[in-house]
Amino acid sequence: MLVILYVENVSEAVARIMRKHNVPVAIKPYKTFKSVLVHPKDKQEKEDLTNPLSPTTQLKRTMSSTGLKRR
């Protein structure tokens, strides 16, 4: 099977010629709905994880910043 991109008037002519020689042809659209509607996300900056905090330290910071007390 031969898959060709759709180009107005050209794709049909090529497909006709190939079909005369018993070559199956599929015409693929150049732009699909997905390529038109879907946009990649903006690149996000990676966080600096060279010195991550332990869960206990994170909990202590959260509790002190929110005013919560330990039981």
DSSP 8-state secondary structure symbol assigned to residue 31? S
pLDDT band at 12 (very low <50, low <70, confident <90, very high): very high
From start to end of 1-71, where are the E strands? 2-5, 25-28
The percentage of residues in the chain with a pLDDT greater than 70, rounded to a whole number, is 69
Nearest to 11 by CA among 34, 28, 31: 28
pLDDT band at 18 (very low <50, low <70, confident <90, very high): very high
Tens of pLDDT, residues 24-63: 999 988 887 777 777 766 566 666 666 666 777 777 777 7
State the average pLDDT for the chain. 79
Going from N- to C-terminal start, the domains of the chain cover 1-32
pTM for this structure?
0.44
Burial of 17 (0-12, 13-18, 19+ CB in 10 A): exposed
